[in-house]
Amino acid sequence: MTKEDARRFMSRREFLAGGLAAFAGLPMLGKTGFAARPGTAPAGLDEKIGQMIMVGFRGLTLEADNPVIADIRDRKIGGVVLFDYDVPSQNPVRNIASPEQVGALIASLQETAATPLFIAVDQEGGRVSRLKEKYGFPATVSQKHLGGLDDAAVTRACAEAEAAVLAEAGFNLNFAPVVDLDVNPENPVIGGLERSFSADPAVVVRHAREVIQAYHRAGVLTTLKHFPGHGSSKNDSHLGFTDVTGTWSKRELEPYAEIIGEGLCDAVMTAHVFNAEIDPRYPATLSRPAIQGLLREGMGYDGLAVSDDMQMKAVSANFGLKEAVIRAVDAGLDILIFANNSVFDPEIAAAAAGILKGAAAAGVIPEARFDRSYERIMRLKRRMRR
What pLDDT shows up at residue 41? 56
Residue 213, SS3 per DSSP: helix
- pLDDT by 10s per residue, the chain, length 386: 444 444 444 443 443 333 323 223 333 343 334 444 444 456 899 999 999 999 999 999 999 999 999 999 999 999 999 999 999 999 999 999 999 999 999 999 999 999 999 999 999 999 999 999 999 999 999 999 999 999 999 999 999 999 999 999 999 999 999 999 999 988 888 998 999 999 999 999 999 999 999 999 999 999 999 999 999 887 555 655 689 999 999 999 999 999 999 999 999 999 999 999 999 999 999 999 999 999 999 999 999 999 999 999 889 999 999 999 999 999 999 999 999 999 999 999 999 999 999 999 999 999 999 999 999 999 999 998 65
Q: Which domains, ranges and CATH numbers included, belong to the chain?
A: 3-13+46-381 (3.20.20.300)
What pLDDT shows up at residue 152? 98
Is 266 one of the annotated active-site residues of the chain? no
Given 236, 279, 308, 309, the catalytic residue: 308
CA dihedral angle for residue 190, residue 193, residue 197, residue 200, rounded to 10 degrees? 50
What pLDDT shows up at residue 242? 81
Peptide bond between residue 226 and the one before it cis (omega within 30 degrees of 0): yes
Count Cβ atoms within 10 A of the Cβ of residue 361 and give its class: 0-12 exposed, 13-18 middle, 19 or more buried: exposed
Is 226 one of the annotated active-site residues of the chain? no
> Any idea what DSSP says for residue 258?
H
Instruction: Yes or no: say if 171 and 124 are a contact pair by the CB < 8 Å rule.
Output: no
CA-to-CA dists, residue 184 to 82, 163, 229, 237, angstroms = 29, 29, 12, 15
Given 238, 266, 309, 334, the catalytic residue: 238
Whether the model pTM is above 0.85: yes
Peptide bond between residue 67 and the one before it cis (omega within 30 degrees of 0): no
Instruction: Yes or no: say if 219 and 273 are a contact pair by the CB < 8 Å rule.
Output: no
